[in-house]
Structure formats: structure tokens, C-alpha cells
Amino acid sequence: MSIGLVLSGGGARGIGHLGVIKALEEAGITPDIISGTSAGSITGAMYAYGYSPEEILDIVTKTKLLTALRPALSFTGFLKIDMLGEVLTKYLKPDNFSALKIPLVVAATDIEKGETTYFEAGELIRPILASSCVPVFFAPVKFNGSIYVDGGILDNLPASVLLDRCDYIIGSHTNYINNSFEARNLKLMTERSLLLAINGNTIKSKEFCDLIIEPPELGDYGGFELNKAREMFDVSYKYTKKLLHEQNTGLPAQVKIKA
């Protein structure tokens, strides 16, 4: 049985995917193919390249991977995402999907056509940057004659692209929305609004997944709280361990977790 792993966007909350993956590995569950959007595309690429969840967490915290950005002199966004590309270039060599040990599909939004583009061959890093380019916060990415923004705008949990490519799909969704929110400033208001809007397109995507892993505690963290990376890793790891134990009797024999 082939297993697909879908990794949602979520900004810094995407670190939660690492805890999920670690728990899956310990349960003897490894993906045959991965799809990801935004932070999920970054995590997916690093993992598909061969880095362990702990190694990726170390890279994220030491290099400020998710905040390696510089101010943009552009009316189309506040920040440029170029420096993120410079960091990724250090860890993903050569810059090509062919360098990955596990097949990866990266979702980005073509802002002109109003549709999702799924990248899985050729140059790797620029599709990741395109997928991670949150509107308003970041200037869009130009690539292959098109202009792209965050893949989560239209497909924040890209499960549909895996439907005919694997037998069992596990979705890791890090954008749990809780009911406690304080509108303290414009940045928080904008982030919350985007989160609510993006979550709408995951409803159908969740139906495509055989198992959804969505740690509720991640709802307590903001999309830019990189300083709490270890906490998000740990709560996701513990939640997934508990969920897998509870769900074990309902899983297909081929994905039963280890005792």
C-alpha cells in the first residue's frame, strides 16, 4: 500500500508538521509521496531531501529559516522572500526536484489565472518560494512567465493531487482555529482574516484524506511565532502519538502502527 502525506500551510505553525512526521516515523509509517503548500512545501522538501524532523527543526531554529526575509521596496507586498531562497539553497543541492528521495508536489497560486499550479519537476526552490508567498505580507514571486502567491489561497491542503497516486492519504493540518482571539493590532487582524479565509478551502480537501492530523493546541500560536518552534514541535508530536494509538484499530493492516 502506498501512502501519501499532505502538509498544509500555516507559517511558523508549519513546524508542527515535523512533530507529526516524527510520530509517524516512530509508528513505522513513512510516505511514498508528499504534497505541500507554503510552510508545508518547505517542510516537505527538507524531509523529502533526507533530513530528519529533528534536523529540520535544528535548521529552522538556527538559521531562522521561516523569517529569513528582507524589506521589499514594492507596493505589492511588505517583504521579499529572496533571503529564504538563499537559506534553502544551502540545504537543498542541487536545486531540482530530482534531488529528492521522496517525490514531492508543491502547490502555488497563479494570481493572474486564478488557479493552482502544482510543481513536481525541474527547479525546486523558486516553486517553494512561490508557494510560501503570503499575500500582503510578501511580494509575489515571478517564475516561468507567471506571477505566484501562497498556494494556500486556493489549496491549503493539497490532497486532491494525490488521489490517483497513492492508496492511503494522511493529512497534516496545522491551521486549527480556536475561539480565543484578541484584535490587538492590524498585523494580527490581517493574519487572522487570512487564516479564516484559507481554512475554507480545506473542507473538501479533508474529505480526500483517510486520516487527518490537526493538533488543536497549534491554534494557540501565531503564524510568525518562530521563537516557540520547539513547543509547536512537541505538542504536535504528542498529539499525533496519542491519535495514532487511538486510531490504530481502524487503520488498514498495511499502516497499523508499531506496538
- Cα separation, 152 vs 131, whole angstroms: 8
- Cα separation, 2 vs 86, whole angstroms: 34
- Cα separation, 152 vs 93, whole angstroms: 26
Cite the active site residues.
Answer: 38, 150
Q: How far is CA 163 from CA 4, 12, 101, 133, 217, in A?
A: 9, 27, 21, 26, 29
8 grid coordinates: 498544509
41 CB-near residues (< 8 Å, 6+ apart): 7, 104, 106, 107, 127, 128, 131, 132, 151
Judge if the upstream peptide bond of residue 94 is cis by omega within 30 degrees of 0: yes
Closest CA to 31 of 208, 169, 157: 169
- Cα separation, 244 vs 242, whole angstroms: 6
- Cα separation, 73 vs 79, whole angstroms: 8
